[in-house]
Amino acid sequence: MSSKHSSRRRELVESIAQGAVLLAQEGQILAINDAARELLAIPTRARTRSASDVLTHPELADAVDDVRDTGEPTTLEIDHAEALLRVNVSMLRDEVLVLIVDRTEESRVEQLRRDFVVNASHELKTPVTGIQTLAEALSVVVAQEEHERVAALVAQLGDEAARLAALVHDLLDLRRLEERGPQERARLDLAELVRRVVAAQVDRAEALGVELSVQAPVELLFAGVTGDLEVIVRNLVRNAITYNRVGGTVDITLRQLQDGSGEPQVELVVTDTGMGIAPSDLPRIFERFYRVDPARSRDTGGTGLGLSIVRHAVEYVGGSIEVTSHLGEGTSFTVLLPEALAPEGPTDASELRR
């Protein structure tokens, strides 16, 4: 084998974007690229002369032996050094070529997607089963002409249907936020938006004995997407009412400030005097379908999706969200939004488009 030959072979292996190892029939390494070293977790100065120096994973070593014996290519997935690797082994004339790709992230995303479908189906099943059971009960009592019972069942049917509608609505919101491309930002009065969204929840707050108060500048102009900001305010205020106590309060404040580098920002704070969230639950409340108290959430028409929708919407507008909470005392969510506009800013919406 000429040295010209072997250096060309090495160049070829090094030029492959995936991890690549080329082995001779007898098992010595003819070439190995940096990606393969990294994926196989081979220390920089380690010896890489023979197959056993490199193919430390037993399944991979067996696969290489099999391919060498049979000549048939094979693909396998192995867990190696905390990564999931997909490895393809094939013969290249009388040499063995091993190609390696890292599938860790891809498989994590696949798992998240699978979990989401399972969780969403499970959530949908509850109200759907409720509706089916109620409809059956209804047909029986209608036949018996029990009018009071009919009215009660129809009301329950309505509640279950509303729960289903809320879930479908939240799922669609989440999907829209996750999958859409860049959106045109428009100039809007954030203070007016907050007051409007809060006003829509006054009746619910009153029914639960919770008082709402809003402190917002008269006019606070901001470049954003109305739907995103409504989603953020609506869900935070809704939770602050839901997880509150009779006689409790919800304070919503909006103010303009500057970040560390002097850029204008808007701060939205929603503080309640409710049940609070335990430190162990705090990191998980933004996960889809995570609820501290599933029964309470369901009883109040919660879907378990509100805060994950908020998190997506905040990320989408380039902001950040933080939460502090004390059990039995209350919770405070602080949202920082970039790019507030001074009231004397441009009035033509087209100037604000990015």
Instruction: Please tell me whether residue 127 binds ligand ADP under the rule CB under 6 A.
Output: no
Q: Which is nearer to ligand ADP, 87 or 167 (CB)?
A: 167
For residues 22 and 13, is the Cβ–Cβ distance under 8 A? Answer: yes
Pick the closer one to ligand ADP by CB: 150 or 161.
Answer: 161
Task: Report helix, strand or coil for 182.
Answer: coil
Tell me the closest approach of the beta carbon of residue 328 to ligand ADP, in angstroms. Answer: 11
240 contributes a contact to ligand ADP by CB under 6 A = yes
From 143-151, 183-191, 299-307, 344-352, span contacting ligand ADP (CB under 6 A) = 299-307
Q: Which amino acid is at 260?
A: G
- Binding characters for ligand ADP, 171-210, by CB under 6 A (x = yes): ----------------------------------------
Kindly state the helix (H) or strand (E) to which residue 36 belongs, with its residue range: helix 34-39
Residue 278, helix vs strand vs coil: coil
Strand residues in 197-309 grouped as ranges (E) = 211-215, 221-224, 249-258, 264-272
Q: Give the Cα separation of 254 and 223 in Å (integer).
A: 15
Rule CB under 6 A: is residue 19 a binding residue for ligand ADP?
A: no
Contacts 24+ apart (CB under 8 A), 258-265: 259/336, 259/338, 263/338, 263/339, 264/338, 264/339, 264/340, 264/341, 264/342, 265/336, 265/337, 265/338, 265/340
CB of 307 to ligand ADP, least distance (A): 3
Per CB under 6 A, the list member of 80, 185, 291, 311 interacting with ligand ADP is 291
Q: Which amino acid is at 13?
A: V
304 near ligand ADP (CB under 6 A): yes
Specify the residue, 201 or 239, whose C-beta has the smaller distance to ligand ADP: 239
* Contacts with ligand ADP, residue ranges (CB under 6 A): 235, 239-240, 243, 272, 274-275, 277, 285, 290-293, 297, 302-308, 331
